[in-house]
Structure 1
Amino acid sequence: MSGADPKGGVTPCTTRVMNLSHFVTQAARRHADGIAFVWGEKQWSWREMEARVNAMAHALVHEFGLKKGDRVLVQSANSNQMFESMFATFRVGAVWVPTNFRQTPDEVAYLAESSGSVLMICQANFASHARACLASEGSSIKSVIAIGASDIGDDYDAIVERNLGKTLTSEAVDRDDPCWYFYTSGTTGRPKAAVLTHGQMAFVINNHHGDLFPATTHEDRSIVVAPLSHGAGVHQLCQVAHAATTILMPSDKMDVDAFWRLVQEWKVTNLFTVPTIVKMLVEDPAVNRYDRSSLRYVIYAGAPMYRADQKKALETLGPILVQYFGLGEVTGAITVLPPMLHSLDDGPEARVGTCGYERTGMQMQIQDDKGNEVAQGETGEICAMGPAVFAGYYNNPEANAKAFRDGWFRTGDLGHIDETGFLYITGRASDMYISGGSNVYPREVEEKLLMHPALNEVAILGVPDPFWGEVGIAVCTLRPGSLTDGNELRAWLDGKVSRYKLPKKFVFWDEMPKSAYGKIAKKLIREELEKRGDLDDMSEKLSA
């Protein structure tokens, strides 16, 4: 008798899935006059949103010759046009390639080349980015659509106006057809395009609804405080799936008072952000000037939240925090810590420091350098598998070979799992440094330092040392009106962490460098340390 048939005797006849742009069509059918999108004084109903998406999709095909599988580069801050471009691109069966809009023209030109984009949608005030892409020898971009009046190309809204009333049937797509090139932040080397597909994203949307913001309906309101090019775009796609209203901040500058005013005005129920923005929102006096009782889910990801900041947010907002962990390559879907497991109590039952348990349909494993699962509680690399994992990096076999091992995606993050399956992140593998032969995970020390009343933010980096191999340097920002110094902080840490983990130097800055998505960026911090000469100064002192 032959071995068991792994497919159960069934021959798959199709991998056809719904084109994700159909979510807009569904919302327009069920809630035609419901508010789809709000930006400043302007509002669009679902009927209007569907008409505009249809018009642009029709133009992409019939005016610009876009075909299934073509890539569309989008350089824009948050706007209704950028939001619409996602669905118009999906409808054609093409691939949406949004950039980090704060990147330089040369950096965006690299994205144009590496993605193979043939068309660019570019906000008018980024005209130099469009020109750099058009001038690049390796770029395939033939045309530019301008958001706003510009000589770089035809105006987006004018194109929509002349195509209103025209429709385009959504292109047939299979489960593994790409819909989005999600560029990594490029903390090491050049950014890489993680390929997200229609089938994968359909799973992620259901997973997000089940694990992060259950019972979301067309009566919900979601406010956007992060660029739609990355995690916020995934979050808003999920909101569209249930016809919830999306509300943009009036500008790309973070105005905390305006945020809380909009929460009150629109009775906002959910938002996605990163820990540093949550910290900003709850520490500003404006948090108590407006009614925020409508908020049901404040979802944060992108980095673990320090315990001191988590407690402050819980005290201010109540039990509405939701944390999830995952990279863009896994569209965030590795673990979840729901509101009921966020606790002000620091006792053993509180599981302080965890980022939750496995997401629905996902599996996680802690592995050593050879791919073996480590013992419970032992630190290793966090690896994941499941339908939320991306298809791979576009045109980058070397990166794919490093990212996947025996079917597992390697996150590059370090952590351990307790006996009940809760994950604790130690830090990035690239953040760890070895001092005197012992591994030091900066996050553990950062957590302790942030309990000091004078400190607002802190980041610890490992730097070379001729005697110890590597030592830590702590970059700190202070709370307004507070004073401290390195000697006091070192004495305060003594006894709270092992002595070999103590930073050898403390520096104090007015502001911490952050990425375009509001996360503390150690790559930028290291560059700033080098620019200021702090690393040279440290090396001289330590080697003297």
Structure 2
Amino acid sequence: MTPRRRAVNLATLLTQTARRLPDRDAVVAGDRRWSWRALDTGVSALARELHARGVRRGDCVLLHSPNHVEFVQAMFAAWRVGAAVAPTNSRSTPAEVAALARACRPAAVVCHSAQTGHAAEIGRAAATLVCDPLWIDAAGDDAVSRVAPLDGNGTAWPDAPVEPGQHAWYFFTSGTSGRPKAAVLTHDQMGFVVTNHLADLMPGTTEHDASLVVAPLSHGAGIHLLPQVARGARSVLTAGRLDGAEVWELVERERVSNMFTVPTILKRLVEHPDASHRDHSSLRYVIYAGAPMYHADQDHARAVLGDVLVQYYGLGEVTGNITVLTPAEHDRLRPDGVAFGTCGRIRTAMELMIADVDGQPQPAGTTGEIQVAGPAVCHGYLDNDDADRDAFQDGWFRTGDLGMVDEHGYLYITGRASDMYISGGSNIHPRDIEEKLAAHPGVSEVAVLGMPHPEWGEVGVAVWVSADGPDRQAAATAEDLRGWLEPTMARYKLPLHFLRWPELPKSGYGKIVKREIRDRLVAAGWSNGEPGDGR
């Protein structure tokens, strides 16, 4: 008989830190500060309340709120009682959140008080609820602040025992269409992720550090929070929408040493005037992930901040643990014929393979699908056998991204398999085109995609945003951009159309959404291979 094994509950990260550093700051928001003792006792009180309302080990608690200290409290309270959390993006519509609720079947909902319509839709969608919602940033009998105040008082509630493979987090993959997919992150898997983040992304992090939260805690920023809790580093919350002036004031005031962001947000922050005159010398690790960052934008960020950039590549299903590019490696020379830089080397205790269409390993310098294996890979998808079959091949997780490795094992992402289009029989990957266009001084953002054409099958369309600012040339035209590409790119790769938009659509996590660009082009009257007049 195999002996029963026990995993470590993620709530134990907080339990241990609160015991070790009870009076140090855990969370800062505006002029308010909460100690590790206050956060820990508040989590225990909320865990007790969830249990009293019928939430049990193995249940799911859906969290819907913008960043808030009570969101953090609710995450750890759900884990402490033995439940999994299902955080949803606060920018999602009620209908979108209801679809997620049908996928994860929550027993309870913790929702921000400004989003009662979302909670109502969840209530209609989920027959599994065992209690009324608890409310973040609220007053009244069902307010988190009333049932579980963060006042440092109260008695402990023990962390529920968990086993290997027990669900901890239902991580909804961004940019999906149709039936929502929830990657199942387990307590033991996430324990590895926390350790790996501390080893590979933020070595040397201690209770003397501070982390600024500028992205939604419902996604990558929530993962990034966990290593801070493990080491006792305080997390500093911004007031709401991204505000460069606020960010750089907080970095200076709180002596912020690390932050997690995505390329589009990092680009906006380093272009803000306050980045040049606020003191950001405390920064050691500015971590960016979620999408490729163009080389021109990397160079500008490094010129403003110094060598503090840390890039990682990793999907939600592999929880950020595929590759890492440290500050010292951002100058690494790329191989001949590769137009863009590396996203780094494989993470500690993980394995990567470049595979052909049959799943066979390919040698260095050959482009194929990026597949990964190791303890950071998710448990699979919640109640979705079809997605599991599509995602795993001979034990490897298929990322759907295309790339190659050099002779030293550094990875270069060439694009998404789904982004590739075929024009006149030739396969075209937009990444190279986008990199070159992003280097033009008049381009702020760009996305290249294939659109239907009666003769060529598909043609390239470059949708771009003009750059503004004293050191930028904002008067670029489509002809300028075409001329910029022609000397360095085969003619068949040149986009047929160059469309300037005031902004590009982005997901709630700051990633450019090409599917929405395509939908807008169609809605504007895309016909016979030409853009419509409604754009």
One fold, TM greater than 0.5?
Answer: yes
- Does 2:255 match 1:264? no
- Does 2:15 match 1:25? yes
- Does 2:527 match 1:539? no
Counterpart of 2:527 in 1: which secondary structure?
helix
Relative to 1, partners in 2 of residues 1:494 and 1:242: Cα closer, same or farther, differing over 3 Å? same
How far is the alpha carbon of 1:139 from its aligned partner?
5.7
> Structure 2 residue aligned with 1:70, among 34, 59, 66?
59
Counterpart of 2:378 in 1: which secondary structure?
coil
Relative to 1, partners in 2 of residues 1:350 and 1:318: Cα closer, same or farther, differing over 3 Å? farther
> Structure 2 residue aligned with 1:511, among 488, 498, 503?
503
Summarize the alignment of residues 4-403 of structure 1 with structure 2, pairs less than 5 Å apart.
Answer: 13-62=3-52, 64-136=53-125, 140=129, 142-149=131-138, 154-161=142-149, 165-251=154-240, 253-343=241-331, 352-403=340-391
Comparing 349-358 with 276-285, greater Cα deviation is found at 349-358
Comparing 12-21 with 518-527, greater Cα deviation is found at 12-21
Relative to 1, partners in 2 of residues 1:349 and 1:208: Cα closer, same or farther, differing over 3 Å? farther
Cα distance per residue 1:338-363 (max 9 Å; x no partner): 11101297897999510011000000
Counterpart of 1:452 in 2: which secondary structure?
coil
Compute the TM-score of the two structures, normalised by the length of structure 1: 0.93
Counterpart of 2:415 in 1: which secondary structure?
strand
How far is the alpha carbon of 1:138 from its aligned partner?
5.4
Partner of 2:489: 497
Q: Distance in 2 between matches of 1:415 and 1:469?
A: 25
**CA-based RMSD:** 2.0
Q: Distance in 2 between matches of 1:277 and 1:378?
A: 32
Q: Distance in 1 between matches of 2:55 and 2:4?
A: 25
On the 8 A contact 1:118/1:143 being kept in 2, the answer is no
Question: Structure 1: which 5+ residue stretches go unaligned?
Answer: 1-10
Q: Report the AA paired with residue 414 of structure 1.
A: L
Counterpart of 2:463 in 1: which secondary structure?
strand
How far is the alpha carbon of 1:127 from its aligned partner?
0.4
Partner of 1:3: none
Q: Distance in 2 between matches of 1:249 and 1:98?
A: 19
How far is the alpha carbon of 1:174 from its aligned partner?
1.1
Q: Distance in 1 between matches of 2:32 and 2:488?
A: 53
Relative to 1, partners in 2 of residues 1:141 and 1:460: Cα closer, same or farther, differing over 3 Å? farther
Q: Distance in 2 between matches of 1:205 and 1:162?
A: 25
Comparing 91-100 with 14-23, greater Cα deviation is found at 14-23
Q: Report the AA paired with residue 42 of structure 2.
A: R
Q: Report the AA paired with residue 427 of structure 1.
A: G
Relative to 1, partners in 2 of residues 1:453 and 1:141: Cα closer, same or farther, differing over 3 Å? farther
Counterpart of 1:322 in 2: which secondary structure?
strand
Q: Percent identity?
A: 49
- Does 2:413 match 1:425? yes
On the 8 A contact 2:175/2:513 being kept in 1, the answer is no
Q: Report the AA paired with residue 373 of structure 1.
A: P
Relative to 1, partners in 2 of residues 1:186 and 1:150: Cα closer, same or farther, differing over 3 Å? farther
Q: Distance in 2 between matches of 1:323 and 1:407?
A: 26
Q: Report the AA paired with residue 313 of structure 2.
A: F
Q: Distance in 1 between matches of 2:137 and 2:283?
A: 34
Counterpart of 1:87 in 2: which secondary structure?
helix
Partner of 1:443: 431
